[in-house]
Structure 1
Amino acid sequence: MTEEKTNRFTIRTFGLLLLPIILLAGVIFLFLSTGGGLDLKSAAPVEDLNIERYTLSPSEIEIYVRNAGPEALNISTLIINDAVWPFSVSPSNTIPRLGQGTIHLEYPWVYGEAYGITLFTSNAVAFDVEIPVAFSTPKPSSSTFWSFALIGLYVGVIPVFLGIFWFPALRLLSRRWMIFLMAITAGLLIFLGLDTLIEALENAAHAPGSFQGTGLVGIGAVATFLLLDAISKKESRTGRNESEKRLSLAYMIAIGIGIHNLGEGLAIGAAYNIGEIALGTFLVVGFIIQNITEGLGIIAPVLRDRPDIRSLIWLGLIGGAPAILGAWIGGFSPSPTLATLFLAVGTGAIFEVVYEIAKLIQKDTDKQPMPMTVFSGVLTGMMLLWVTGLLIK
């Protein structure tokens, strides 16, 4: 008999894996210390100051910044509306790489006026901050807390539940109509997924360059897709009946829509945060109209079943309530990096749910194919959101 060699992860294996990394670190150190043999210096300093947000309170302005450049930078001068103005930076005027700083200036700003601020580093590199409308930034308090919660309720929870209220009527439809509604759900989610992806990429452009916003979108979307796919496959091996599997799919649809609604809440909260009241109101009304279709998409997989009231309530809350959280985050501390990550996660979740719905439709149409029903349903779902989107974009 020949003895089979057992493969184990030993200290020797670990050392062999670590050796190339140690050698690579040595090569990098050698290059940085010698300059690769080239005695060259940068003609101009490379500095990148990312303006994350600003807040206004009576006679005060605070600007939150992050150093996205390769080296530490020092903020030396501030000009507001062509006037040099005194300021302070906490924790220090020198901001390390990827470090944050808060610039504070006492300034008698006037409600509704526009202000242009220019920050200069010690190397005379300028960075601009535009305040299109001077407006007292909402501060966390019981009143503003409930105000943003109410906005999220209007945008997410109420329209999603109104869509779920179609459940009794839709259960009376024939099998072909059931397939048509599932295809509409797929179309709705495809449109939502594309819209969420575009929003994620737009937010990524405003995130600090060092955070590699586009890469963050890819990581969030792919990781979420694969994680939900793994969970779905694991659940499919548990021996549950078809009704339970369809209810699980409805929950997954609610999760994907919920993360999307969180992104909508972020956009609305951020609009109110900077004083864009008209834009915020316009977004609220538009999203209310659009999101009633999301309730339809959530209940589509379980129309042939009899889920209890508790399940329907949970589906509505999961799909709509994240808009409240988004309004809080956007209203009190908007962050393009955080928004990018949330929207990326939403993209991955939505497209994974589309994949699950496609498998369910294929299974339901194996014996009686309905290609035109599926085609018209997907197109109808996408057109529904495109038309309602005309009220928002």
Structure 2
Amino acid sequence: MTDQIPPTTKSRFTFSTFILLLLPIILLAGVIALFLNTGGGLDMDSPAPIENLSIERYHLARGHIELHVQNTGPAELTIAQIIVNEAVMPFEVSPSVTVPRLGTAVITVNYSWTEGEAYAVRVFTSNAVPFDVVIPVAFETPQPDEKTFWSFTLIGLYVGVIPIFLGIFWLPALRALGKQWMTFLMAVTVGLLIFLGLDTLLEALEQAAEVPSTYQGIGLIGIGAVATYMLLEMIGGSKSSDRSESSQRLNIAWRIALGIGIHNLGEGLAIGAAYNVGEIALGTFLVVGFIIQNITEGLGIIAPILRDRPNIRQLALLGLLGGAPAIIGAWIGGYTPSPFLAVLFLAIGTGAIFQVAVEIGRMIQRDNVKQPMPGYIFSGVITGMLMLWVTGIFIK
């Protein structure tokens, strides 16, 4: 007796179907409204006010301190008092001392700070709930003028563009290697990308701790990483059978450059933010460390196209895609550091990097389908990870 396959039915979306889909949502809204009005029979009044004021960044200018804040609590709050180093100071709030939920405000404190000194600022709400921010080194916040613009641009060039182009310059020498060496370098690229993806994910998790809990930083990482991974899978899989092998390899190189570029944007954010708060030594240390690390990223970009003949224009665009985002990151981090944007960019970079690592792994597997993993593939992946681990010692 054979199973009978039911005939396929043509789907129809009618008005009655729409009502049936909408009805549970309407009933759910009614249940929520009933609970909010009655409290479910429980005493839902909190014994203490629940307030949360996120101090996103501070801005120092001669004679005053600006605090950029956001109300991430469940209800509106009122800013009542500002204390700087245990002294009550006059202040103004724009647009209003009462900040609605998820609303933003700028607190301007009239205070003659001294360059190089450390300051502790405490913000009190009308319910006497304190919120603190520490200024480790008083330093006039860089303004978006021509001088600082070109300074941050130069930092981005040092960190991203120059070392990646130096890595791309290895192309003529590496092209003379045999097939096994090329496969080894592809495996090195996989190792580089795996380590880079893990490092990017860790940076995203560290930045997520700075994001107000209302925005659920961990969830933001998941959305950014998964969406980017799936989007690149969708783009890479579409019409792949219509492309030649060389165009597929070039496509992978473009995606490697994209993933590395987003990662370098995160590096630029970190460096710009360090300079923004006056941590010059940290910023300089990061620049030197990233220069050492990023030359290996140029190698990762060219590895898929070693057997091909890309023209100068393609190589130049690949290098810019991989390195130039560091300039944009330095601008954002230097002028308007934002943990939210940092988490989002790093999450996108994580998804892009891991997707490309998987894609290159598939390419290596296709070339070695009739044999178990050769030793040079294993050693290549480990070598790639060790390269970034060693160079990372100079940064961390």
Q: TM-score range by the shorter chain?
A: over 0.9
Distance (whole Å) between structure 2 residues aligned to residue 202 and residue 55 of structure 1: 23
Alignment of 1:289-308 (within 5 A): 289-308=292-311
Q: Hey, what's the Cα distance between the residues in 2 that align with 1:171 and 1:5? A: 57
Counterpart AA for 1:144: T
Instruction: State how 1:326-337 maps to structure 2 within 5 Å.
Output: 326-337=329-340
**2:310 is aligned with 1:286:** no
Question: Aligned residue for 2:275?
Answer: 272
Structure 1, residues 290-316: CA drift from partner, whole Å, max 9, x if none? 000000000000000111111100110
Asked if residue 229 in structure 1 is aligned to residue 233 in structure 2, the reply is yes
AA paired with 1:58? R
Equivalent residues of 1:187, 1:380 under 8 A apart: yes
1:163 matches 2:133: no
> Aligned partners of 1:191, 1:45: CA distance in 2, in Å?
45
How far apart are 1:368 and its partner, in Å? 5.3
Specify the SS of the correspondent of 1:346: helix
Cα pair distance change 1:5/1:170, threshold 3 Å:
closer
Q: 1-side partners of 2:204 and 2:319: how far apart?
A: 24
In 2: Cα distance, 1:189 partner to 1:22 partner? 48
Match of 1:220 in 2: 224
Q: Which residue of 1 aligns with 2:266?
A: 263
- Secondary structure of the residue aligned to 2:289 is helix
1:220 deviation in Å?
0.2
Matched, 1:97 2:129: no
Match of 2:244 in 1: 241
Tell me if 1:52 matches 2:56: yes
Tell me how far 1:4 sits from its aligned partner. 7.0
Matched, 1:24 2:28: yes
> Aligned ranges for residues 1-393 of structure 1 at < 5 Å?
5-237=9-241, 239-367=242-370, 369-393=372-396
AA at the equivalent of 1:331: G
**Which residue type is aligned with residue 162 of structure 1?**
L
Matches of 1:337 and 1:347, distance apart in 2: 15
Give the count of matched residue pairs. Answer: 391
Cα distance between partner residues in 1 of 2:114 and 2:101: 34
CA–CA distance in structure 2, aligned partners of residues 180 and 186 of structure 1: 10
CA displacement at 1:6 relative to structure 2: 2.9
Q: Distance in 1 between matches of 2:320 and 2:291?
A: 15
Q: CA deviation at 1:143?
A: 1.3
For residues 235 and 195 of structure 1, the distance between their equivalents in structure 2, rounded to whole angstroms, comes to 32
Change (3 A) 1:5 1:72: same
- After superposition, what is the alpha-carbon deviation per residue over 1:141-160, rounded to whole angstroms, capped at 9, x for unaligned? 11111110110000000000
Would you say the 8 A contact 1:66–1:208 is kept in 2?
no
CA distance in 1, matches of 2:140, 2:335: 12
Separation in 1, partners of 2:60, 2:135: 10
Give the secondary-structure state (helix, strand or coil) at the position aligned to 1:9.
coil
Where does structure 2 lack aligned partners over 5 or more consecutive residues? 1-5
CA apart distance, 1:5: 4.7
Q: Note the residue ranges of structure 1 that are not aligned, 5 or more in a row.
A: none
Instruction: Give the Cα separation in 1 of the matches to 2:182 and 2:8.
Output: 57
Query: In structure 1, how many angstroms separate the alpha carbons of the residues matched to 2:13 and 2:266?
Result: 44
SS, match of residue 391 in structure 1: helix
- Please report how far the alpha carbon of residue 42 of structure 1 lies from its aligned counterpart in structure 2 after TM superposition: 0.5
Moved more, 365-374 or 81-90: 365-374
- TM-score norm. by structure 2 comes to 0.97
> 1:3 offset after TM fit, Å?
10
CA distance in structure 1 between the aligned counterparts of 2:386 and 2:8, rounded to whole angstroms: 62
Instruction: Describe the superposition over 1:317-358 as per-residue Cα deviations: whole angstroms up to 9, x where unpaired.
Output: 000000000000000000001100000000000000011010
Report the alpha carbon displacement of residue 52 of structure 1 after superposing the two structures with TM: 0.5
Structure 2 CA distance for aligned equivalents of residues 209 and 21 of structure 1: 27
Cα deviation code 1:46-100 (max 9, x no counterpart): 1111111001011111001111111111110000001000101111111111111
TM-score when normalising by structure 1: 0.98
Aligned residue for 2:59, secondary structure, equals strand
**Partner SS, residue 97 of structure 1:** coil
RMSD, aligned α-carbons: 1.2
Does the 8 A contact of 1:258 with 1:318 survive in 2?
Answer: yes
Percent same amino acid at aligned positions?
Answer: 68
The amino acid of 2:172's aligned partner reads P
Measured in 2, the distance between the counterparts of 1:318 and 1:189 equals 16
